Chain A
Amino acid sequence: MKIIHTADIHLDSKVESSLPPVLAKERRLEILDTFAQLVDYAKDQGVSIVIIAGDLFDKPHVRKGVRRRLLSIIKENEGIDFLYLKGNHGKSDFLEDVDWDDMPANLKTFTEEEWTAYEYGKVVISGREISEENIRTIPVNLILDESKCNIVVLHGREPGYVGSDKTPVIPIQQFKGKFIDYMALGHTHEFTEGRIDDRGSYCYSGVLCGRSFTECGRKGFVLLDINDDSGRLSASFVPFDDRCFYESEAPVNEKMQNEDVKKAVAEALKDARSKDFVRVVLTGKKAMDFDVDISGIEEEYSRQYYFFKLVDKSSIEIDYEAYVGDRSLKGEFVRLMQGENLPEEEKASIIDLGMRAILGEEV
């Protein structure tokens, strides 16, 4: 038996804010298309079950077109069961206008109140929506048959997570000895895996498609292959998105001119694919009187990549020493700024502006 484990698809959600509206819209459609391709892949590969471990959407309201297409994909593939766990972004109107009489029989859900288990021969897939209320009792309430191949579906933070996210943490340690073979998790957007105990492992499949430059690199799903006789399970990550986000840094220094910056950008792009969303970030320090030709470089690479953005995060190198004995307004200005209690980036920016203004350059 083959099972696909995916999560955090975030259909119809916001994408990278720096994308032009047309590309943002295209990307949203691409994510939906990728899900459809995943189902096609499942059909071609003889996959019986697609587990969606939460966050199929990330906002309450889902566009009608998306809802309808998603339902249509599920309905058209009666041979595949879709096991859908809502997750922390799960409160959506995805199934709001679906008449329960018309609800696809192959769309199966989980509840917060109790563990729901679906049996497929030797394979049992159990899942539960977690909340602050049930998080303590969830491991206790889970009773599994040792002789079965047990897959558990949950959505929550990875243990050891540090941050402001309030989603409950999955107490993986408490699932030790529960005869779990594979824990299909959702929430963490990067592919992550680890051991529960000697028998089982847990895995975050990561997002199916990147949506911003915080989700760079190839994304995909986990393919589970279970031996029908022995019940042994093997899992492998399948990179699946056709287009991904790529970000790279191009370090600059105060001696560089535009030609040098272009070389640094070219170097940063050596692993980028033309169909990707590409962003290069200039880092380091540049000379005070040097203007990076952002628009020129962007224009050049926009022709080569599906989307190209150059972000200048480099700061200006101020040579305070050069102005120590300078008997001029410029010298006085730099010395004054040097003594000001401002962040260095702000100081550099003000000095740059002031210098340009005095020299009659565009500010």
Chain B
Amino acid sequence: MTEVMTDEDITREVQKGNTNLFGVLVERYEPKLQRYAKRFLFGYEDAQDIVQDVFLKTYANLQSFDPTQRFSPWIYRIAHNEFINAIKKKGREPLSYFDPDTLFPHPVAKEQPEKDLNEVQTKEMLDQCLDKLDPKYREPLVLYYYEDLDYQSIGEVLRIPVSTVGVRLNRGKQALQKVYLSLHN
């Protein structure tokens, strides 16, 4: 029965008091968030604990979720906030508070399917060099290439305009290529 229920249907039931169904959401999203955490929080040994905290926070705030909206960007947003807090706490990587990319409009880049060698090459570079990228570029690359989120969803998770998502992905790929080439020269 729960296999045919959408995430939003399940949250509706949990909001009504059927808390056992929350386990289904955990089952569905745990692999995704673990993968997101492992890729974004490079070298953070307590990534699994942080993912657990994400689910606990999701449960605590579930009544604030509107089931007419999509659940996926909402839980990813909670995960994003927890991961950023973890980075700030550890203080290992600088996080810029002021983001000039969001100040001005940019031409909206068309999403490219990249269901070919290009994507394979990009993922290979990501696997090798992701930890060397600025978190500002690392995160949208992880969400796009590993979590398969579209630009709109990434914009909702990061709370930035869709055009800025395109800008960050392009700059992220350029930075990735630089790092990759410097490692292999």
Are chains A and B native binding partners rather than an unrelated pairing? no
Binding site for B on A (CB under 8 A): none
